[in-house]
Structure 1
Amino acid sequence: MFAKSFRVKSNTVIKGSDRRKLKADISAAFPSLTADELSELIPNKEELNVVKIYAHKGDAVILYVLHKNPLFFELEKRLYPTVYLLWMYPALLPTFRTWAPVIQKLIGGADLMLPGVVVPPSGLPDVKKGACCAVTVVSNRAPVAVGTAAISSEEMHSLGMKGRGVAVLHTYMDHLWAFGDKSGPPSVPDEDCGEEMSEEECDVPEEAEEKEDEILEKPSEDQWCPDASACSGIEELSVAEQEEEKEIMDALLLQCFLHALKSKVKKSELPLLTSTFLRNHMFACCPSGKQIDLKKSSYKKLSKFLQTMQQQHNLVRVKELAKGVESIVEVDWKNRELRSFSLPEEKDVEASPVQDGGRGEIPYNPPEITTLYSVSARLEPLFLDANKRKGATMHAAEVRSIITEYVKRNELVAVNNKNYVTIDPTLCDCLLEKSEYQEIECLKWDDLFTRTLGRMQECYQVVHPGQAPITKKGHIEPIDISVASRGSNKKVTLVKNLEAYGVDPAAVAAALQHRVQASSVLQPVPGARDRVSVQIQGNQIHQVGSLLLDHYQIPRKYIQGLDKAPKGGKKK
């Protein structure tokens, strides 16, 4: 679940009532913990943070963080311990043992297969299907993975120890582990690895032992374990699945590519931006129920895929017409592979949605744009207790929460008037000017928050549906609409910075051309890589504004130049 990076939604200090509820929930989920151990995990006076995140597949997860380390994560209202907690209490969960080289596969996102489980003399732990359990390596009881039992221990025996054993959720060295202090597992001697087991049973053979460090640092094709079939069952399944996934995606890409060339692209459209070709044509040709994902293919990037289509298939010719902007400049319509390609039946292809103005464009969902604030060097002392270092970003509400907690924790609310906050040395250094040091002893709450936000670096975060969030410093550059003159006093309308909002300039150009029946062109923006501007004849600000506001649902505050539209929307 945490093999890939996740997005942090919020990070706040837990409230007193929530702290008590959490302690009760932990006690119910893990009844073996004593009252003293619960108090150690959920101390009354020490800061405990609640971090809400979205995993890379969109799952909402809640982390409970103490002393910078996540101790528990909550998924679908169920609590799971992290490896940091299990290193404190190794016997908290039933455990399955495996060989060290297998751990690298688990870190990469694989589940623990039963052929890779080492059965101790005492037998497998008694678990039911779905029970929370841990994974350890031979000779060390410190858990390195957490998950749920795929089947009961009885079924494991009845199936001859074949199939999936543990559905892994979290491992040592994954992104959840990296959210903490990144410490390594302690050495906890394995009680079963003693007199009851022979040296041959307890140790990895010399060949594997010599490669163990290399295996753990970098996956190798020749990884193996004492029982070759035990580890190969995991390794081959994982590699086979990955290769099969690549082959399926490669075939889908080729099908959509040929379909798009044969039925969507017209000679008059060339040269055609490669990004436009992917969005407007290939996506539209994707069969229902399937989705193009270049990262899951062997090509990884669109440019590499098109390069293969050019060099090995001789289907197209791609050229960089502007720096960093590639276009398809030629299509070999007589290519044997293209001519022999049979178009799928219409029912198997997702119909291109009819949109307001632009024909053949994939559905557009406006991005979520959020203002964030970054901790500056001057304000860092004020945020240290909340584990926020220089450069950490957060929402204004989180800033207010941290400042409020700081004031209350240090008992700075004015005794005579609770609307004021007493200035302590830290607040003085962070928020006051030198000329105010001797003059100001208290600040109103609103003034306190305003000064704090005013001294932080303003940032913004753009989240497009289904994509990783993009965070940048400063203010997001608005979409700029302007009118310029081009010889003989002819006017043209220019639209810039559409890409920042996930809007395809080619789609906008086509939509405007259809609306106003005037020619439009795309021009590279000087000094800006992978950015183009839309140019259309006449003063079309009214039409551009209508398209962006009504169809693309871009908030008016992010569009600059609407005030220059002619009255009544008439062209000049």
Structure 2
Amino acid sequence: MFAKPFRVKSNTVIKGSDRRKLKADLCAAFPSLSADELSELIPNKEELNVVKIYAHKGEAVTVYVLHKNPLFFELEKQLYPTVYLLWRYPSLLPVFRTWSPVLQKLIGGADLMLPGVVVPSCGLPDVNQGDCCAVTVVKNRAPVAVGKAAMSSSEMHSLGMKGRGVCVLHTYMDYLWTFGDRSGPPSLPEDESEGQEENGVKCEVIEKEELKKCVEEQQSSGETVTDQACCGLEELRIAEQEENKCESSNEKEEENQEDLKTPQEAMDTLLFQCFLHALKSKVKKSELPLLTSTFLRNHMFSCCPSGRQLDIKKSSYKKLSKFLQVMQQQHNLVQVKELTKGAESIVEVDWKNPELRSFSVPDETGVEATTVQEGGEAEVAYHPPEITTLYSVSARLEPLFVDAKKRKGMTMHPAEVRSIVTEYVKKNELVNENNKNYVTINPTLCDCLLEKSEYQEVESLKWDDLFSRTLGKMQGCYQVIFPGQDPIIKKGHIEPIDISVASRGSNKKVTLVKNLETYGLDPATVATALQHRVQASTVLQPIPGAKEKVLVQIQGNQIHQVGNLLLDQYQIPRKYIQGLDKASKGGKKK
């Protein structure tokens, strides 16, 4: 489920009532957890975040995060622990063991098949279909995957340990794991009885049918199980080496053929590849009729492989209209019509066309593959930073926080501030006896929160007023956490990405984008992505008075396109983007 990146919809602090409900749900889902363990997982005073996400297939998932690590996720009203939690409580779920090489298959999105399960001397765990269970590897009890049992234990035995065993939902090294601190599994040795007894061991799940048959034949003979597993894995290595040799030779042949092509022929091939790729993975039936210019700009250019640039003028067709005419007449892939004067549209696509159906979408589509450089190392996919609002203790409020050992300049989350203030009020018995919605003002609160004109007039404050005044007297700060880096705390409020439109000579419009660096975005990478997206020139300019900051300038009013790039691709929250309301609006419909 989390083998591919997911989209974060919201990230909020859990409410008190929801915290109690979650604790009750956990107690019901995992009765083996003691009251102390539940209190440790769902603490009353520490910040617990609720993150609502959409997986790459559209599933709505709720993730509960404590101390920056996801502990549980809820799918279809059922709670599942993450590997971070299972490393603390490895015996929380029924466990299926497998071989280490199988883990790579699981990380890639595969389910655990029964031939890959190592059956201990005590037998399989007693599970029913749909039960939550964990997966470990041989010689380490630390779980590496979480999923649902595909069938009951009795059915697994009756089927001869063949078929799907565990429908895997989450694994070590997947994108839910990267949402945490990315720590590795601890080393938890197995029980000696399990480590010595390996009767009933099956070989790693292998997709190649020939290798499966070979392993089954070896298991039916008188060889030991350990020899079978080693033989099977050795044959897998040999098969993979042969396959890699074939792939490398094929790649070399393709490269040689590519070198023999003229630049015009190479561009024709690239154009046709991007055309088929766009039709197969980008265009939806509901979008038709689709302007040909929009199809080229929004779909074909985004399908161009990284390191290459699509240029119709360098092809033999020279114009998009001529290329689409050939696609219509010779390949019968699309139907193009001029619905309005001077504007052609794709009105129909033959989704059953053999060329389109047989086309396989390449893995790497890199025109808008967003990457950032980290210390000159290899490029990695961009992930938006986690931005948190903090408050710093001011000199005036220091007496209010002295009992909590918070000195001047120390930063806290808003929830922690509320907790400390509440504790102070209760400790000093300042809750109004007649109306518990009010707090009596003592000398400390008077000096910290009231204005001089209020000293003689205000004797009590409502709870909300008390909290708002406290936060208002504190120094505003913010914390930025980039994946894999230490938190960065700065005073003031974070500057949003600013998008504006300016005029340059003869009333030409240009779009200006700044403050990208604050969010870990490389202005040059963003400029390249925009250039391909809107087919307009971009320029990078230093910002006067701002060190290490660059302004991105692109021709025309492109606020709408810049906004879509930042919101959809880079996943920057809308509240951190300024100027989206200045996008050009279309003419009024008659």
TM-score, normalised via structure 1 length: 0.53
Question: What is the root-mean-square deviation of aligned Cα atoms in Å?
Answer: 6.2
In the aligned structure 2, how far is the partner of 1:548 from the partner of 1:104?
Answer: 37
CA separation of 1:547/1:68 partners in 2, compared to 1, >3 Å: closer, same or farther?
closer
Quick check: 2:497–2:578 contact (8 Å CA) kept in 1? no
In the aligned structure 2, how far is the partner of 1:348 from the partner of 1:379?
Answer: 66
In the aligned structure 1, how far is the partner of 2:560 from the partner of 2:307?
Answer: 37
User: Which of 482, 485, 494 is the aligned partner of 2:509?
Assistant: 494
Equivalent residue, structure 2, for 1:161 = 161
In the aligned structure 2, how far is the partner of 1:202 from the partner of 1:260?
Answer: 43
TM-aligned CA deviation for residue 133 of structure 1 = 0.8
- Aligned residue identity for 2:295: N
- Aligned residue identity for 2:421: V
In the aligned structure 2, how far is the partner of 1:359 from the partner of 1:450?
Answer: 58
- Aligned residue identity for 2:499: P
Does the residue aligned with 1:165 lie in a helix, a strand or coil? strand
In the aligned structure 2, how far is the partner of 1:184 from the partner of 1:507?
Answer: 42
Equivalent residue, structure 1, for 2:421 = 407
The question of 1:332 aligning with 2:316 is answered yes
In the aligned structure 2, how far is the partner of 1:372 from the partner of 1:168?
Answer: 28
Structure 2 counterparts to residues 293-308 of structure 1, below 5 A: 294=303, 302-306=305-309
Equivalent residue, structure 2, for 1:47 = 46
TM-aligned CA deviation for residue 30 of structure 1 = 2.0
Aligned length: 413
Equivalent residue, structure 2, for 1:73 = 73
Does the residue aligned with 2:145 lie in a helix, a strand or coil? strand
CA separation of 1:41/1:421 partners in 2, compared to 1, >3 Å: closer, same or farther?
farther
The question of 1:257 aligning with 2:275 is answered yes
CA separation of 1:478/1:131 partners in 2, compared to 1, >3 Å: closer, same or farther?
same
In the aligned structure 2, how far is the partner of 1:11 from the partner of 1:548?
Answer: 24
In the aligned structure 1, how far is the partner of 2:115 from the partner of 2:305?
Answer: 39
Quick check: 1:379–1:456 contact (8 Å CA) kept in 2? no
TM-aligned CA deviation for residue 137 of structure 1 = 1.4
- Aligned residue identity for 1:496: T
TM-aligned CA deviation for residue 348 of structure 1 = 7.1
In the aligned structure 1, how far is the partner of 2:440 from the partner of 2:555?
Answer: 51
The question of 1:477 aligning with 2:481 is answered no
Quick check: 2:147–2:167 contact (8 Å CA) kept in 1? yes
In the aligned structure 2, how far is the partner of 1:202 from the partner of 1:458?
Answer: 50
Quick check: 1:116–1:230 contact (8 Å CA) kept in 2? no
User: Which of 552, 555, 577 is the aligned partner of 1:533?
Assistant: 555
CA separation of 1:157/1:496 partners in 2, compared to 1, >3 Å: closer, same or farther?
same
Quick check: 2:339–2:345 contact (8 Å CA) kept in 1? yes
Superimposed CA distance per residue, residues 161-211 of structure 1 (whole angstroms, 9 cap, x where no aligned partner): 33432222222343433444525324142354255447x97999xxxxxxx
Equivalent residue, structure 1, for 2:232 = 228
TM-aligned CA deviation for residue 132 of structure 1 = 1.0
- Aligned residue identity for 2:27: S
More relative contact order, 1 or 2 (CA 8 Å, 6+ apart) = 1
In the aligned structure 2, how far is the partner of 1:476 from the partner of 1:258?
Answer: 36
Does the residue aligned with 1:477 lie in a helix, a strand or coil? strand
CA separation of 1:303/1:408 partners in 2, compared to 1, >3 Å: closer, same or farther?
same
Quick check: 1:127–1:149 contact (8 Å CA) kept in 2? yes
Does the residue aligned with 2:186 lie in a helix, a strand or coil? coil
In the aligned structure 1, how far is the partner of 2:16 from the partner of 2:187?
Answer: 32
Q: Could you tell me which runs of 5 or more consecutive residues in structure 1 were left unpaired when the two chains were aligned.
A: 205-223, 244-250, 262-275, 286-291, 295-300, 307-317, 319-326, 363-369, 393-397, 433-441, 460-471, 487-491, 510-521, 536-543, 563-568
CA separation of 1:184/1:51 partners in 2, compared to 1, >3 Å: closer, same or farther?
same
TM-aligned CA deviation for residue 330 of structure 1 = 2.5
CA separation of 1:424/1:155 partners in 2, compared to 1, >3 Å: closer, same or farther?
farther
Per mean C-alpha deviation after superposition, the further-off stretch among 18-27 and 150-159 is 150-159
CA separation of 1:530/1:280 partners in 2, compared to 1, >3 Å: closer, same or farther?
farther
Structure 2 counterparts to residues 106-505 of structure 1, below 5 A: 106-181=106-181, 182=183, 184-190=185-191, 192-194=193-195, 196-197=197-198, 226=230, 228=232, 232=236, 254-257=272-275, 280-281=295-296, 294=303, 302-306=305-309, 328-333=312-317, 342-343=327-328, 374-375=388-389, 401=415, 403-411=417-425, 418=438, 445-450=467-472, 455-456=476-477, 474-482=495-503, 485-486=505-506, 492-497=507-512
CA separation of 1:185/1:556 partners in 2, compared to 1, >3 Å: closer, same or farther?
closer
- Aligned residue identity for 2:86: L
In the aligned structure 2, how far is the partner of 1:30 from the partner of 1:67?
Answer: 21
- Aligned residue identity for 2:328: L
CA separation of 1:448/1:348 partners in 2, compared to 1, >3 Å: closer, same or farther?
farther
CA separation of 1:411/1:184 partners in 2, compared to 1, >3 Å: closer, same or farther?
farther
- Percent sequence identity over matched residues? 43
TM-aligned CA deviation for residue 52 of structure 1 = 1.0
In the aligned structure 2, how far is the partner of 1:547 from the partner of 1:145?
Answer: 40
CA separation of 1:330/1:120 partners in 2, compared to 1, >3 Å: closer, same or farther?
same
Quick check: 1:115–1:229 contact (8 Å CA) kept in 2? no
TM-aligned CA deviation for residue 533 of structure 1 = 0.8
In the aligned structure 2, how far is the partner of 1:293 from the partner of 1:232?
Answer: 37
TM-score, normalised via structure 2 length: 0.52
In the aligned structure 2, how far is the partner of 1:161 from the partner of 1:39?
Answer: 40
Superimposed CA distance per residue, residues 416-435 of structure 1 (whole angstroms, 9 cap, x where no aligned partner): 7957999999x98xx99xxx
In the aligned structure 2, how far is the partner of 1:197 from the partner of 1:418?
Answer: 68
- Aligned residue identity for 1:475: P
CA separation of 1:167/1:349 partners in 2, compared to 1, >3 Å: closer, same or farther?
farther
Equivalent residue, structure 2, for 1:19 = 19
TM-aligned CA deviation for residue 278 of structure 1 = 9.1
- Aligned residue identity for 1:404: R
